[in-house]
Amino acid sequence: MNRLREIESLPSIERQQLINHLKAFKLDERLKTFERVIEGRTNYFTVMLENIVHPHNASAVLRSCDCFGVQTVHLVDDADNYAVNRKVAMGASKWLHLKRYSTFSNNSETAIATLKEAGYRIVATTPHKEAPSLSQFDISKGPAAFVFGTELTGISSVVESLADEFITIPMVGFTESLNLSVSVAVLLQSVTARLHLSDIDWQLNYDQKQNLFLEWLRKSIPHISLIEERFFKMRLER
């Protein structure tokens, strides 16, 4: 099977021509869904999961990220055994960008360095009451990567030492903390709701939207390699 051309290597005009060609293979209703969902996607916030023990928890987090429009998730997995539970994720992983860190000498440190280089402030989640509460979190200070640690012990000492900020979800019951996936959902609902009401430029830019639309078309059209091969062949013959 022929390999698909790298999306970023295609000139913008050619990308759009390919998108227009591929649209003929999808129902209008599905295309409208793609357009609607892309308008709600953001890279202003991202999530980093550090060595989650139970794969179904990580899969539930992916589902929450998709629901609240967070396009990219960073997965630190020292054991290199993470796999998406399709029943729990409900297909969410297909539409997200997953960046994995499992082969470095220090995966957490590498992930954080990558995020900081991309302009994110590292916001570590913690159950400790002395940390600022979710309602106090300032979304206007710039893009943020929310880091969630393992279900048993929380964030690692590496994350704790490299974090720029800490945040907690206040609890008033007997239980000290929420389930991991519930915590992610509560946090993302709060920050994305405020983000959508703000004047922050949080949406994807034109090129990012175009690239993502093409990526989703490719993932949802059978025999895409053959279809694209014919498209580029016809262009050469003109």
What pTM value is reported for the model? Answer: 0.91
User: What span, in angstroms and rounded, lies between the C-alpha atoms of 47 and 25?
Assistant: 33
Q: How confident is the model at residue 112 (pLDDT cuts 50, 70, 90)?
A: very high
For position 127, what pLDDT does the model report? 80
Q: How many domains does the chain have?
A: 2
88 and 177 together in one domain = yes
Q: Are residues 118 and 211 in the same domain?
A: no
Q: What is the mean pLDDT of residues 138-158?
A: 92
- CA dist 169 → 85, 93, 183, 191 (Å): 26, 26, 8, 12
**Ramachandran category for residue 142: left, alpha or beta (phi over 0 → left; psi -120 to 50 → alpha):** left
Strand order in the sheet with 144-148: 97-101, 72-76, 45-50, 144-148, 121-125, 165-167
Give the residue among 52, 53, 79, 50 at the shortest CA–CA distance from 157: 50
Looking at residue 132, which CATH number applies to its domain? 3.40.1280.10
pLDDT level of residue 88 (50, 70, 90 thresholds): very low
Q: Are 63 and 181 contained in the same domain?
A: yes
How many Cβ atoms are within 10 Å of 232's Cβ, its own excluded?
15
pLDDT score recorded for residue 204: 98
Residue 87 pLDDT > 70, yes or no?
no
Is residue 182 domain-shared with residue 216, that is, in the same domain?
no
Q: What is the pLDDT of residue 173?
A: 80
**Domain containing residue 28:** 12-41+205-226
Asked, for residue 52, whether it belongs to a domain, the answer is yes
Is 4 among the domain residues?
no
145/133 same-domain check? yes
Let me know if residue 177 belongs to a domain.
yes
Kindly state the DSSP code that residue 26 receives in the 8-state scheme: S
Q: Is the pLDDT of residue 181 over 60?
A: yes
**What percent of the chain has a predicted confidence (pLDDT) above 70?**
93
pLDDT at 89: 43
- The 3-state DSSP class for residue 84 equals coil
Same domain assignment for residues 35 and 86:
no
